[in-house]
Amino acid sequence: MVTGGTGLVGTSINCISKNYKYKFIYLSSKDGDLTNYEETKNIFEKHKPDYVIHLAAYVGGLFRNMNNMTDMIEKNLLINLNVLKCCHEFNVKKVINCLSTCIFPDKTTYPINENMLHDGAPHNSNYGYAYAKRMLEIQSRAYNESFGDNFVCVIPTNIYGKNDNFSLDDGHVIPALIHKCYLAKKNNERFVIKGTGKPLRQFVYSEDLAKLIMWTLEKYERKDSIILSVSEKDEVSIEKVGRLIAKNFDYESNVVFDSNFSDGQYKKTADNSKLMKSIKNFNFTSIENGLEETIKWFKNNFDKCRK
C-alpha cells in the first residue's frame, strides 16, 4: 500500500510496478483523511497491507513552507502518527517512510550523512515541516526498538519528474519554474526566477527514486535510515536548472534573476556513499535528460496536470 499514491513519487512507483510481484494499492486523499486516526484505521482494515510505502505528507515549496508553519508541523505530525501506529497495529511486515534532506541541520559540515539528522536546528524557512519529518524518524526508531518492527526511513534529495505539482505558488522549484517558463514564453514576458540562482541542490528524477525505494523494500536489510540521492559531483545550481528549463522552451535569452527574494538554504549536500556501497552500478538519470522528459510530459499534459 502506497500512501500519497497519486503524487509525484507514488505515480512513479506505479509506472515501474509491472516489474514487481506485488499487488499495489495507491491511496489518495479521496480514500480518507490520514490526519484522522479513525479514517486511517478504516483504510488499514479495508486493505490489510503486507508492506507500506509511506509517501503522504503536507508539502509545498519554499514560500508555502515559510507561510504555513503551523499547518506544516501539525498536519505532518498527525499523518505520521496515525500511519505508523496503524502499521504496527496491523502487523505490517516492512514500512518505508520518506523523509527529505531539507530537514537536516542548517549549520553543519558537508556533505551531510544519515547520522547528522538531529545535530542542530533546520533552516528557519521550513522548520515546521522539518521537525515533523524528524519526528517520523524518531517514531520509526521507537517502534523498531520497542516492538521489533521493521520501519525504515529513506532520505531523498530534491525530487522532480512527471506528474509533479506544477503550481506557481505551492510547487517545488523545478515544476514551478517549468510552469513559469511556459507562461513567460506564451505571454512573451521575461522568465523571472526568484532569488540569485546561486543555491546548490542535488536533484533526483522521480522514476530513479521509485526504483531505489523498491530496492530498499526488497534488498535493504538494515533498519537505519539511508540517503537516496545522486552524488555530490552531480549537484547543480538553481541558475543552471533555470537555464536548462529555458533552453528546453527555446527561451534562453529571457532569463532574469530577482535577488529581492530569499534564496533559502544555500546548500544541503548529501552523502550517498552508504547507498553506493550497497547498490552497485545504479545509473541515475542526468539532470539534462530528466528535465527534457519532464518538460515534454508537462507540455503534453498541460490541460490536466496539477498546477
Look at phi and psi of residue 90 and say left if phi exceeds 0, alpha if psi is from -120 to 50, else beta.
Answer: alpha
Collapsing DSSP to helix, strand or coil, 274 comes out as helix
* pLDDT tens by residue, 144-172: 999 999 999 999 999 999 999 999 887 78
* pLDDT tens by residue, 39-66: 999 999 999 999 999 999 987 655 555 5
Please give the pLDDT value at position 72.
Answer: 87
Please give the pLDDT value at position 172.
Answer: 84
List CB contacts of 22: < 8 A, sequence separation 6 or more.
51
* pLDDT tens by residue, 106-155: 888 999 999 999 999 988 877 889 999 999 999 999 999 999 999 999 99
269-284 core/surface letters (b: 16 or more CB in 10 A; e: else): bbbbebbeeebeeeeb
Distance between CA atoms of 255 and 242, rounded to whole angstroms?
8
- Cα-flanking dihedrals φ and ψ of residue 200, to 5°? -110, 140
What is the CATH topology of the domain spanning 2-300?
A: Rossmann fold (3.40.50)
Please give the pLDDT value at position 171.
Answer: 79
CB atoms within 10 A of CB 205: 23
216-251 core/surface letters (b: 16 or more CB in 10 A; e: else): bbeebeebebbbbbbbeeebbebbebbbbbbbbbeb
- Record the cell numbers describing residue 211, joined without a space: 526504483
* pLDDT tens by residue, 225-272: 999 999 999 999 999 999 999 999 999 999 999 998 888 778 889 999
Which pTM does this prediction carry? Answer: 0.92
Question: Which strand (E) or helix (H) includes residue 212?
Answer: helix 206-218
Q: Which of 26, 58, 127, 129 is catalytic?
A: 129
Would strands 203-205 and 255-258 be described as parallel, antiparallel, or unpaired? unpaired
Angle between the 173-186 and 287-300 helix axes, to the nearest 10 degrees? Answer: 60
- Answer yes or no: 129 catalytic: yes
Please give the pLDDT value at position 170.
Answer: 75
* pLDDT tens by residue, 186-198: 999 999 999 999 9
